[in-house]
Amino acid sequence: MPTGHPYTISIVEDERILREGMAFQLGQMGFAVQTFETAAQFYRYLAVHPKTIAVLDIGLSGEDGLSICQHLRDHDSQIGVVFVTARALRDDRLTGLAAGADAYLVKPVDVNELALLLKRLGQRYSDAGTDDGDNTTAAGAAWRVPSNAWLIFSPDGIPLELSAREHQFLRLLIEADGRIVPKRELVEKIFGLHLRVGEERLEVMISRLRKKGSAALGQPLPIKTANTQGYAFGAPATLG
């Protein structure tokens, strides 16, 4: 492992040009990167260097990315796993997340989004030396919504992909700093509609967001309903 890096990025991709291109871009951004063409090569490296984040293609020759992900989860529940794949169907994404991946990105990937995910997942290793053996979230940890990516990160660093409107909705709640944001304001800013026209759209969006968050993060998003008035974000959160 290169000196000064608490973890490495392991890219498992059987297309050489994609593998080397991604490794070069991440290397230029300061990551310590290792590349592998097959699962067997990656496993040999992992046996000696367990502090790594796996960036996996699904359609590998030999053992595929889904199988690798399941193997990693069976042996280390905390290891970061990100799928970067050409499989863009909703069912494929759900299968990847169900296998235990922290995130699922579709090629061509935005390397800045990938880098943001990797940094957040890497905090699991960076913070490992400061815990007390308890696996619960550290006191003071907050949800985070970045300004440059449609994501929300749970307090333990797990990302959830958002639509543009979901991203705007969560930012509006967090900007309110615990105060109730009226439905009228949310509808007008997100949909550009009057309340009576857009309220149903707002409620459908929030219902889907809650279900998606619980499925992907293993915990509910702290979106609090204030009777018929509006919504608030009921947990510590930051914008970045």
Residues of the chain within CATH 3.40.50.2300 domain(s) are 8-130
> How many secondary structure helices (H) and strands (E) does the chain include?
8, 12
C-alpha closest to that of 160 among 110, 233, 219, 231: 219
For 185-234, what is each residue's pLDDT tens digit?
Answer: 999 999 987 777 788 899 999 999 999 888 888 788 999 988 678 999 98
DSSP H/E element including 220: none
pLDDT of residue 126: 64
Q: How far apart (Å, rounded) are the C-alpha atoms in residues 22 and 193?
A: 42
The beta-strand segments (E) located in 59-142 are 80-85, 103-106
For 140-186, what is each residue's pLDDT tens digit?
Answer: 568 989 887 889 988 877 888 999 999 999 999 999 988 999 999 99
**Which whole number is the average pLDDT over 124-151?**
63
For 70-102, what is each residue's pLDDT tens digit?
Answer: 888 888 878 999 999 999 898 888 999 988 898
pLDDT of residue 127: 55
What tokens were used for 94?
Answer: 């759900």
Q: Helix, strand, or coil here: 63?
A: coil
Q: How far apart (Å, rounded) are the C-alpha atoms in residues 118 and 9?
A: 8
Count Cα neighbours of 151 within 13 Å in the Cβ-side half-sphere. 23
Q: How far apart (Å, rounded) are the C-alpha atoms in residues 42 and 35?
A: 8
pLDDT of residue 137: 42
Helix axes 164-175, 195-217, angle to 10 degrees: 90
Determine the CATH number of domain 8-130.
3.40.50.2300
The structural architecture, per CATH, of the domain 143-239 is: Orthogonal Bundle (1.10)
Residues of the chain within CATH 1.10.10.10 domain(s) are 143-239
Q: How far apart (Å, rounded) are the C-alpha atoms in residues 30 and 94?
A: 31
pLDDT of residue 1: 45
What tokens were used for 153?
Answer: 């990160």
C-alpha closest to that of 142 among 154, 128, 127: 154
